[in-house]
Amino acid sequence: MSEPFDAVDVIVAKRDGRRLSDAQIDWVIDAYTRGAVADEQMSALAMAILLNGMDRAEIARWTAAMIASGERMDFAGLSRPTADKHSTGGVGDKITLPLAPLVAVFDVAVPQLSGRGLGHTGGTLDKLESIPGWRAALSNDEMLRQLNDVGAVICQAGSGLAPADRKLYALRDVTGTVEAIPLIASSIMSKKIAEGTGSLVLDVKVGSGAFMKDAERAGELARTMVELGTDAGVRTVALLTDMSVPLGLTAGNALEVRESVEVLAGGGPADVVELTVALAREMLDAAGRPDADPAAALADGRAMDVWRRMVAAQGGDPDAPLPWARETEQVLSPADGVLTTLDAYAVGVAAWRLGAGRARKEDPVQAGAGVEIHARPGDAVRAGQPLLTLHTDTPERFTRAREALVDGVVVDPAGTPGARGALVLDRVAAG
């Protein structure tokens, strides 16, 4: 068939800093998805976008074209409003697990499409798959039925949602163009808008353990995604949250599920509770439930009831023992003093090397592997006191995990004990 545009002309336009027309964007996304634009051509265009950017209208059109490459889900038949949350990824970020059932307590449906971990950031589906029997793959009909019956579902996205994004993401990953904010924003938002949720809360992580290390760039990404959601008719808000230190006291799969259950039981680490409640309030407000009290629903067990039903609906046994790694090793404090540094990236890499994460999408993960944290930055510690416990089924991994932690765990003999800084750094809303 005859093509209305030439890929080279589109590449040159963006290379020279010109704005792409709606017709050019629609064509290049469609043509790439069906193979009429080659990988090397799309990689050149992605690099031109990385270097020269896109304006708001271009990004919105690019996102719409990605959505149009596949199916759109529709929750209009549900009897309750919908709200979803997306995190840009971090270390110890198990927030989705207690958050989805917590929001569902208040008659808001939570269709949470999640992914698996890659590199030092953990994946929600990997965590949940440590629960015996639990399954991530649901049909659209199963997902709708569970939203009607339980109010919350956490599952993998179907292959029909934004297939252009799946192809383009794999290309960006090997061509040094992952960091392009227009492409990051359109990748995330094309799937979330196609998912059909009525409102969306974004948790944009900032710090060493986050994809975005710099607060200014994280803010730009948050604003871009909020604009995309707003332009598409999805009520969208973003919180910028600290990821210089791991969230909670665990990084791993089954380890993080245990911690999430502690939060649902009314306990758990203060920072996990704080962020869960903050995001729940945003989701409930966006869904028209501004007077709901999520903190009370954690404390009185209502969120735990929904959690148990949600896990069981996907074949999991909420009462089954979770896996433990066969081997453990402790990292001890070298001196009396104050733990001044517990670097999120270092802990994430250690958990990954212990077997909790993967280098490639097809790699297996160990359900019990990870890092257990016994002291937080600002805590006074004594020489020989356990700071971390490393968990793995394969003890030959301990050496490389410890190497990752060499500069990431620092005890200062002259340090002054103190509290952690703010967890929620900023809020970005439409307008």
Rounded distance between C-alpha atoms, residue 113 and residue 285, angstroms? 21
Chain region(s) in the chain for CATH 3.40.1030.10: 84-159+193-320
Q: Is 86 designated active site? A: yes
Would residue 333 show up in a list of annotated catalytic residues for this protein? no
Query: What's the pLDDT at 1?
Result: 64
DSSP type of residue 21: P
Domain ranges in the chain with CATH number 3.90.1170.30: 327-412
3-class secondary-structure state, position 246? coil
Reply yes or no on whether 172 is catalytic: yes
Check residue 420 and give its pLDDT: 82
Given a contact cutoff of 8 angstroms between Cβ atoms, the answer to whether 246 and 205 are in contact is no
Task: Quote the distance between the C-alpha of residue 58 and its chain's center.
Answer: 25
CATH number for domain 84-159+193-320, candidates 3.40.1030.10, 1.10.10.60, 1.10.3720.10, 3.30.70.890: 3.40.1030.10
69 as an active site residue: the answer is no
pLDDT of residue 119: 72
Written as one letter, the residue type at 18 is R
Q: Which residues, in sequence order, are CB contacts of 405 under 8 Å at separation 6+?
A: 331, 346, 347, 350, 388
326 noted as active-site residue: no
Report the distance separating Cα 337 and Cα 416, nearest Å: 8
CA 207 to the chain's CA centroid: 14
Query: Residue for token digits 């949602």?
Result: 161
Catalytic residue, candidates 69, 87, 114, 187: 187
CATH superfamily of 327-412: Pyrimidine nucleoside phosphorylase-like, C-terminal domain (3.90.1170.30)
From 61, 86, 94, 302, the catalytic residue: 86
Strands (E), 123-198: 152-156
Please write the tens of the pLDDT for every residue from 136-173. Answer: 999 999 999 999 999 999 999 877 888 999 899 889 88
What is the C-alpha to C-alpha distance for residues 199 and 332, in angstroms, rounded to an integer? 45
Determine the distance from the C-alpha atom of residue 339 to the mean position of all C-alpha atoms in its chain, rounded to a whole number: 28
pLDDT tens, position by position, 172-193: 888 989 889 999 999 999 999 9
- Which tokens hold the place of 70? 């596949």
- Tell me the two tokens of residue 143: 């997902």
pLDDT at res. 88: 93
Residues of the chain with pLDDT under 50: none
Length in residues, the chain: 431
CB half-sphere exposure, 30, CA atoms < 13 A: 13
